[in-house]
Amino acid sequence: MPIAIAFDSGGNAATEPWIKAAKPTYPCLIDRRHVVAELYDMVNVPTAVWIDERGKIVRPSEPAGVTDAFRKMNRTNFSIPTDAMAELQAKRKAYQDALRDWVANGAKSKFALGEAEVLRRMHTPDDNQVRAAANFRLGEYLFEQGHASAAQKYFEEAKRLRPDSWNYKRQAWALEDPMKPGGPEFWAAVDSLGDGKYYPGAEDI
């Protein structure tokens, strides 16, 4: 059972066109406060968690079939070079094949990780990162209450305390201006990663 979670403080207005276009046969839930991101320590989208029939995590939060290949995108016309496109398609297929293997084989699937490996891969937030979450939460509350510029102050602090969170950066930018999450500030932040990964852990499937 897939469950899609939209980390969208813009709620229905932001998400409806995408959900309607997808015509999903599975639940698509609206997570304005990024609750699931906090519960599972997710910092970007698309990020996935695999949960078995007993309600146990068998793959902790990881990039879901995506890679950094999108960084080769042409920023003027948004085209992606052939080699990067091939890499993205291959990664997506590999991830989907892994999911199918798990559906077919359950705990016997090599993709359903043992407890030790789940714990090894799992990240849990430190004190700065939970403080970031509290700042983001306050920002989201203030935004909901109609105090958009006050909200941005706490979004900025969340970003400062947790620079690895692309959710904080891009959600805050989206609330300022819908073009900002894909604009020059975004690309500058991506470039500043250097050899660092936008999707760390994507290499694991």
Partner 1 sequence: MTLNIIYGERVTQGVDADAKGGELWLKPGDLERVSGWTHEPRGFCSGEVCVPVPAAREAEFVRAGGCNLAALAGLLGQPMVVDAENHAYCFGEAAAERKRVLTSLDAPDFTLPDLDGEMHSLSHYRGKKVFVVSWASW
The interface mask with partner 1, positions 116-155, x = CB under 8 A, is --xx--x-xxxx-xxx-xxx-xx--xx--x-x--x--xx-
How far apart (Å, rounded) are the C-alpha atoms in residues 42 and 166? Answer: 9
For residue 50, give the nearest of 111, 124, 119, 97 by alpha carbon.
Answer: 111
C-beta closer to partner 1: residue 79 or 145: 145
Q: How far is the CB of 178 from partner 1 (least distance, A)?
A: 8
Query: What does each C-alpha distance from 25 to 3, 16, 22, 49 come to in angstroms?
Result: 10, 15, 9, 19
Q: Are 95 and 65 in contact (CB under 8 A)?
A: yes
Q: Minimum distance from CB of 192 to partner 1 (Å)?
A: 19
What is the per-residue binding string for partner 1 in 92-121, x denoting contact by CB under 8 A?
Answer: -------x--xx--x--------x--xx--
Check binding of 163 to partner 1 (CB under 8 A): no
Question: With the C-alpha atoms ordered 158, 167, 7, 51, is the resulting torsion angle positive or negative?
Answer: negative
**Least distance to partner 1, CB of residue 163, Å:** 17
Q: In angstroms, give the least distance from the CB of 89 to partner 1.
A: 18
How many CB atoms lie under 10 A from the CB of residue 196? 10
